[in-house]
């Protein structure tokens, strides 16, 4: 397994906003939010092919997302998951005593996981609290 420490930020995107208003259980939300935007150099170094799945692990959890090269580019060493259900699987809840969690600027390991499946928003959230009834 190859992995590399990257610096993660999670912020808003207009696609996420539109999809959120359509509904968080919609296909649009699934497509808008379960991606990690990376720099091409990092992807090359980690052996990650464009549009394949990766495992992102932080101090507080892990999530499978799809790696893409974004139009809104990041520099090497930085990566971005749009705010929402997938991002919050790895966002550390520490707040520096302000109430605001560490949504931006926390270390993650990214490694190729092309055979892993993406989970839906409901599967992740209901699964975390023991309510998921599906597969």
User: 93-125 as b/e, with b when 16 or more CB fall inside 10 Å?
Assistant: eeeeeeeebbeeebebbbbbbeeeebbbbbbbb
The verdict on 49 binding another protein (CB under 8 A) reads: no
* Contact map string, positions 60 to 79, toward another protein, x by CB under 8 A: xx---------xxxxx--x-
How is residue 131 written in tokens? 């309510």
In the numeric block, the tokens 């600027």 are attached to: 105
Closer Cβ to another protein, 1 or 129, answer by number: 129
- Give the residue carrying structure tokens 């580019």: 73
Element (H, E) at 127: helix 121-128
3-state secondary structure of 58: strand
What is the size of the binding site for another protein (CB under 8 A)? Answer: 51
Nearer to another protein, 71 or 115 (CB): 71
Give the closest residue to 36 by CA, choosing from 90, 100, 98, 101. Answer: 90
Closest distance to another protein from the beta carbon of 56 (Å)? 13
Q: Could you give the string, one character per residue 106-135, with x where binding to another protein holds by CB under 8 A and - elsewhere?
A: ---------------xx-xxx-xx-x-x--
Which residues sit at the interface with another protein, rule CB under 8 A? 7, 9-14, 17-18, 21-25, 60-61, 71-75, 78, 80, 83-85, 88-89, 91-93, 95-105, 121-122, 124-126, 128-129, 131, 133
């Amino acid at each position: 397994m190859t992995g590399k420490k990257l610096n993660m930020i999670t912020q808003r995107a207009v696609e996420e906003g539109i999809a959120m208003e359509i509904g968080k259980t919609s296909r649009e939300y699934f497509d808008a939010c379960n991606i990690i935007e990376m720099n091409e150099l990092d992807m090359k170094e980690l052996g990650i092919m464009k549009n394949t799945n990766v495992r992102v692990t932080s101090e507080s959890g892990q999530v499978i997302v799809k790696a893409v090269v974004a139009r809104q580019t990041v520099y090497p060493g930085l990566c971005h998951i749009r705010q929402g259900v997938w991002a919050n699987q790895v966002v550390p809840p520490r707040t520096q005593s302000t109430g605001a969690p560490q949504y931006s600027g926390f270390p993650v390991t990214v490694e190729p996981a092309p055979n892993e499946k993406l989970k839906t928003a409901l599967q992740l959230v209901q699964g975390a609290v023991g309510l998921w009834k599906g597969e």
